[in-house]
C-alpha cells in the first residue's frame, strides 16, 4: 500500500531505472536527503522520517527506538549513487527538456526558463514561462501600458491607445484637407512667379545668344588673322634657312676634294667640278652668287687661311670651276665655325695650325676691299669642332672642345651680341659634344650628332630654344654621325655623311620632317664624307 508521504523524487522523472534499494521506505519514491536508522540502516527521506517521528519514536521498518536526534547519515556510496542519477527538470511538462544529475537539480530549477511566472500587468494574471514574461508583459499582454509616439503620453491599455490613434487619424484627415487647400494656393502663386522669372530668363538667353553670335564672328576674324600669321611665320622660318631653294651642294671632306649637288625635287645626285685640293674641316657660305669655302685642312698644305669660290649664278655643272678669293681668315684654321653677317664673315674659334692650339677668338672678316680682319672679342673658352648660328644680331655658339681630345668636350652655350660686343653665358646643352652639325629653326638651334665626352659617336638631336634657353630631344637619327653636315629645306632637316661608330666615313643621307616627325633615308652621296661642308642653293 502506498504511503501518504510523497516527499521523495518521483521515480518516473529519472532517465534510467533506479535501483529499488534507493527508494524511501515511507514514500516509496527515490530518496531525497537520505537518512537512516543507525542500527539496521533502513533509509528514508529526511522529510518523510521527520514527519513520522512526530507521531512515533520507532523505526517504521524494524520498530527500534528512533528519534530525529539519533538519525544517521547513510554511507558515502549511497549519496554518490543518488547524486549521479540523471533526472528530468520538474518543468518538463512546460517544455523544459533538460536532464541533469540529481546533485545539480536544485541549481537548474532555480534558473530554469520554464518556471511558471505570473504577468504583473494590472488586470491580466496570466501564467507564462519565466523566460517569456518580459515579452508577454511588453508586447503581447492586452493589459500592457503603451506610450504614444506623438505626444509621449503613456496609455494604460491597448484599447485606450486605439482610441487615441483613431482620434489622431481624424485630426490628420482635417489637416490634410487644410494643407491641400493651402498647397493649391501656393502652387498657383509659385506658377505665376515661375512664369515671370522664365520670361526674364528667356530675355537674358536671347541677349546672350546675340552676344555669342557677335563673339563668334569676332573670333572667326581673329582665327583668320592667326592663320595668316602662322603662314607668315612658317614662311619666315623657312626663309631663315633655305627659302624656296631646293639644291644641296656638298664639298670636300676628310681625304676628298669632290663636289656634288642634290636635287631635292628629283631626289637625284649629280657631280660638280672638284676643288683644286682635298679639303676638310672648312666652312662654307653663299655670297654674291658664289659658294665660298673658307679655311680647313688641305692635302699637302696643312691648315689654310685662304678661301675659294664657285659661281652658282646659273645652275652649276661640271664646267663650273673653282677660283681663288682675295679674302683670308685671321689665321690658318680648321674645325672653326662661321656665319655670314651683312658683308662680313663672323669666324669663331678653330684649331690654329701654326701655334698648334685652339682659338678663343671671335673675328670679323670683311668680304669687300680692303678685306680687313678684326678681333672682336675672346670667348670664355677656347673652341674647335663647335657650332655657330646667327639670330638677328646675336651669334649663338654651342659645344665643341678645348682640344682635339673628346675628354675636353664642352656643353657650354654662349651668346655674343654683335651690337654691344658682349658675351653672355647661356644655359648649357644637356651633354658635352664636339664635331656636330647645327641648323637654325626659327628661334631654335638644332644640334645634330657629333662625338660625346666618352669618345663615342652620337645619333642624338637636340632642339635648343634661344629665348627660353630650354632644350628638348628630337627623335634620334637612323645613324650615328661625327663630323656630319646639315641644312634645312622646307620642313626638313637634311643630314649628310659623317663618321660612324667604327670610324668609317659614310655616304648616307637622312632627313627629319617636322610634319611627320620622323627620319627618312634619302639617296646616298657618291662619295663617303666627314668634316665636309654644305650649302643650299
Does 379 score more than 70 pLDDT? yes
11-112 folds as Herpes Virus-1 (3.30.40)
Q: Give every CB contact of residue 77 below 8 A, 6+ residues apart in sequence.
A: none
User: pLDDT band at 145, cuts 50/70/90?
Assistant: confident
In whole angstroms, give the CA distance from residue 464 to residue 446: 6
**What is the per-residue pLDDT across 469-486, written as a single tens digit (0 to 9) for each?**
999 999 999 999 999 999
Q: Is 440 helix (H, G, I), strand (E, B) or coil?
A: strand
Does 148 score more than 80 pLDDT? no
In whole angstroms, give the CA distance from residue 215 to residue 221: 10
Does 357 score more than 60 pLDDT? yes
pLDDT score recorded for residue 9: 92
Does 316 score more than 70 pLDDT? yes
Is it true that domain 247-536 has CATH number 2.120.10.80?
A: yes
pLDDT score recorded for residue 366: 97
pLDDT score recorded for residue 3: 42
**What is the per-residue pLDDT across 452-468, written as a single tens digit (0 to 9) for each?**
999 999 999 999 999 99
Average pLDDT over residues 214-225: 77
User: pLDDT band at 235, cuts 50/70/90?
Assistant: very low
Q: What is the mean pLDDT of the chain?
A: 89
Does 513 score more than 80 pLDDT? yes
Q: Give every CB contact of residue 50 below 8 A, 6+ residues apart in sequence.
A: 68
Does 378 score more than 90 pLDDT? yes
**What is the per-residue pLDDT across 412-441, written as a single tens digit (0 to 9) for each?**
999 999 999 999 999 999 999 999 999 999
Q: Which of 186-190, 203-207, 237-241, 347-351 has the lowest mean pLDDT?
A: 237-241
User: pLDDT band at 18, cuts 50/70/90?
Assistant: very high
User: pLDDT band at 371, cuts 50/70/90?
Assistant: very high
pLDDT score recorded for residue 183: 79
pLDDT score recorded for residue 187: 80
Domain boundaries, the chain: 11-112, 115-145, 247-536
In whole angstroms, give the CA distance from residue 183 to residue 191: 12
Q: Is 218 helix (H, G, I), strand (E, B) or coil?
A: helix
Phi, psi of 130 (to 5 degrees): -60, -35
Does 336 score more than 90 pLDDT? yes
C-alpha cell at 358: 685652339
Whether the CB-CB separation of 252 and 278 falls below 8 Å is answered with: yes
Average pLDDT over residues 102-128: 91
Instruction: Identify the CA nearest to 68 among candidates 78, 80, 59.
Output: 59
Average pLDDT over residues 132-147: 82
pLDDT score recorded for residue 142: 84
Does 5 score more than 70 pLDDT? no
Could you give the dihedral angle defined by the CA atoms of residues 277, 280, 282 and 284, in that order, rounded to the nearest 10 degrees? 70
User: pLDDT band at 168, cuts 50/70/90?
Assistant: confident
In whole angstroms, give the CA distance from residue 476 to residue 459: 5
Does 228 score more than 70 pLDDT? no
Amino acid at each position: 500500500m502506498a504511503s501518504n508521504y510523497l516527499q521523495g523524487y518521483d521515480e518516473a522523472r529519472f532517465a534510467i531505472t533506479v535501483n529499488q534499494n534507493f527508494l524511501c521506505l515511507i514514500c516509496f519514491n527515490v530518496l531525497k536527503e537520505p537518512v537512516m536508522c543507525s542500527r539496521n540502516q533502513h533509509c528514508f527521506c529526511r522529510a518523510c522520517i521527520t514527519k513520522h517521528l512526530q507521531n512515533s519514536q520507532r523505526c517504521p521498518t524494524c520498530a527500534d527506538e528512533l528519534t530525529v536526534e539519533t538519525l544517521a547519515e547513510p554511507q558515502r556510496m549511497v549519496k554518490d549513487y543518488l547524486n549521479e542519477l540523471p533526472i528530468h527538470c520538474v518543468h518538463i511538462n512546460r517544455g523544459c527538456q533538460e536532464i541533469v544529475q540529481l546533485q545539480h537539480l536544485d541549481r537548474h530549477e532555480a534558473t530554469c526558463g520554464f518556471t511558471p511566472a505570473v504577468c504583473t500587468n494590472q488586470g491580466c494574471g496570466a501564467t507564462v514561462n519565466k523566460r517569456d514574461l518580459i515579452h508577454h508583459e511588453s508586447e503581447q499582454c492586452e493589459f500592457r501600458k503603451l506610450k504614444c509616439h506623438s505626444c509621449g503620453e503613456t496609455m494604460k491599455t491597448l484599447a485606450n491607445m486605439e482610441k487615441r490613434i483613431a482620434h489622431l487619424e481624424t485630426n490628420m484627415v482635417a489637416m490634410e484637407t487644410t494643407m491641400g487647400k493651402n498647397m493649391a494656393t501656393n502652387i498657383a502663386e509659385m506658377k505665376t512667379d515661375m512664369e515671370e522669372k522664365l520670361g526674364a530668363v528667356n530675355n537674358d538667353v536671347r541677349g546672350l545668344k546675340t552676344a555669342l553670335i557677335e563673339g563668334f564672328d569676332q573670333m572667326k576674324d581673329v582665327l583668320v588673322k592667326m592663320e595668316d600669321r602662322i603662314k607668315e611665320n612658317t614662311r619666315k622660318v623657312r626663309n631663315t634657312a633655305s627659302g624656296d631653294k631646293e639644291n644641296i651642294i656638298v664639298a670636300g671632306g676628310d681625304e676628298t676634294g669632290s663636289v656634288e649637288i642634290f636635287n631635292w625635287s628629283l631626289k637625284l645626285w649629280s657631280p660638280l667640278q672638284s676643288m683644286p685640293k682635298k679639303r676638310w674641316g672648312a666652312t662654307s657660305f653663299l655670297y654674291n652668287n658664289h659658294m665660298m669655302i673658307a679655311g680647313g685642312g688641305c692635302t699637302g698644305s696643312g691648315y689654310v687661311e685662304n678661301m675659294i669660290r664657285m659661281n652658282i649664278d646659273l645652275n652649276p655643272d661640271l664646267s663650273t670651276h673653282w677660283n681663288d678669293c682675295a679674302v683670308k681668315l685671321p689665321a690658318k684654321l680648321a674645325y672653326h665655325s662661321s656665319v655670314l653677317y651683312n658683308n662680313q664673315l663672323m669666324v669663331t674659334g678653330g684649331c690654329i695650325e701654326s701655334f698648334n692650339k685652339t682659338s678663343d677668338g671671335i673675328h670679323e672678316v670683311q668680304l669687300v676691299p680692303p678685306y680687313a680682319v678684326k678681333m672682336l672679342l675672346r670667348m670664355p673658352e677656347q673652341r674647335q669642332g663647335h657650332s655657330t648660328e646667327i639670330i638677328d644680331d646675336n651669334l649663338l655658339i654651342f659645344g665643341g672642345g678645348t682640344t682635339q681630345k673628346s675628354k675636353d668636350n664642352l656643353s657650354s652655350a654662349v651668346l655674343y651680341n654683335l651690337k654691344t660686343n658682349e658675351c653672355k653665358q647661356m644655359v648649357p646643352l644637356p651633354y658635352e659634344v664636339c664635331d656636330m652639325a647645327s641648323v637654325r629653326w626659327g628661334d631654335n638651334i638644332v644640334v645634330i650628332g657629333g662625338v660625346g665626352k666618352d669618345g663615342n659617336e652620337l645619333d642624338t638631336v637636340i632642339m635648343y630654344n634661344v629665348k627660353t634657353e630650354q632644350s628638348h630631344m628630337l627623335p634620334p637619327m637612323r645613324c650615328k654621325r661625327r663630323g656630319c653636315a646639315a641644312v634645312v629645306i622646307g620642313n626638313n632637316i637634311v643630314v649628310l655623311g659623317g663618321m660612324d661608330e667604327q670610324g668609317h666615313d659614310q655616304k648616307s643621307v637622312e632627313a627629319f620632317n617636322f610634319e611627320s616627325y620622323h627620319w627618312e633615308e634619302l639617296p646616298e652621296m657618291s662619295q663617303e664624307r666627314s668634316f665636309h661642308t654644305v650649302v643650299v642653293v
